[in-house]
Amino acid sequence: MKFLDEGFSLSGKTALITGGSRGLGREMALAFAKAGADIVVVSRKLEACEKVAAEIEALGRRALPIPCHVGRWEQIDHLVDAVYKQFGKIDILVNNAGKSPLYDSLVDVSEAMWDSVLSLNLKGPFRLSALIGKRMAEGEGGSIINISSITAVSPTVDEVPYAAAKAGLNSLTLGLADTYGPKVRVNCIMPGAFLTDIAKAWDMEAVMKRFESQTSLRRPGRPEEIIGTALYLASDASSYTTGAIIPVDGGYRK
């Protein structure tokens, strides 16, 4: 069956993944490479991107490591120019880089912290999607995947600015899907808690106890468990799916 043989293939595609150097981004970068795509690995630290790029090249794919602060539009404009110069196209964009800094109370959230959370989680994905979505729509089409968070629809006291930014990213998903359809599909994954580097700061005993009662699967996610949904949305397997916001959260309920 052609669909089952080729539906999930990314052969001949180029994917740009922000935050591709670690955590969920690295998992998606390596999985997309295994599915046949060339990968642009983006984060602030060139060395970290180069490491993942070397792993991708070892899989026989092309890789381009580029440092970029995704909250800064001027750097994004340079990034997009550099990628089109090198690869000539981007078929898949994954807006994955994100962060949620700690604060003591809402009045302790400084304007600088608010701006930096909104810049990375919302403003950057908007600019990248606008620049790349336009070119995808004028060219051969493409797939944009936003990595939001379950906190977007279920905010907790310690993540209020982040949750608001991710809710904005959910909304952006719908607006972009309509703007750049029918050639470009735009979808969103809302992860629950995954055991990436951010989990290193967690009190694991308390966390595991919480997950026993708060998730139907009774545990947090392993980083590689993001891959199935990401590969589905990146590939033709999801050719009739756009504007979808998909929780991947082990059945989280607050």
Ligand X SMILES: NC(=O)c1ccc[n+]([C@@H]2O[C@H](COP(=O)([O-])OP(=O)(O)OC[C@H]3O[C@@H](n4cnc5c(N)ncnc54)[C@H](OP(=O)(O)O)[C@@H]3O)[C@@H](O)[C@H]2O)c1
Residues near ligand X (CB under 6 A):
18-19, 21-25, 43-45, 48, 68-71, 96-99, 120, 147, 149, 191, 193-194, 196-198
Tokens matching residue 38: 């060339």
Which residue number, 62 or 72, has a Cβ lying nearer to ligand X? 72
Closest CB 105 distance from ligand X, rounded Å:
21
H helix intervals, 88-154: 111-118, 124-138
162 assigned to active site:
yes
Which residue number, 11 or 216, has a Cβ lying nearer to ligand X? 216
Question: Which among 194, 170, 68, 160 has a CA at the least distance from the CA of 122?
Answer: 170
Closest CB 5 distance from ligand X, rounded Å:
31
Which residue number, 55 or 236, has a Cβ lying nearer to ligand X? 55
Closest CB 2 distance from ligand X, rounded Å:
33
Q: Can you tell me the distance from the alpha carbon of 19 to that of 45, in angstroms, rounded to the nearest whole number?
A: 10
Q: Can you tell me the distance from the alpha carbon of 59 to that of 57, in angstroms, rounded to the nearest whole number?
A: 5
Residue 77, SS3? helix
Q: Which letter, b or e, does each residue of 21-42 get, where b requires 16 or more Cβ atoms within 10 Å of its Cβ?
A: bbbbbbbbbbbbbebbbbbbbb
Which residue number, 140 or 224, has a Cβ lying nearer to ligand X? 224
Catalytic one among 103, 162, 180, 252? 162
Closest CB 209 distance from ligand X, rounded Å:
17
Active site residues: 162
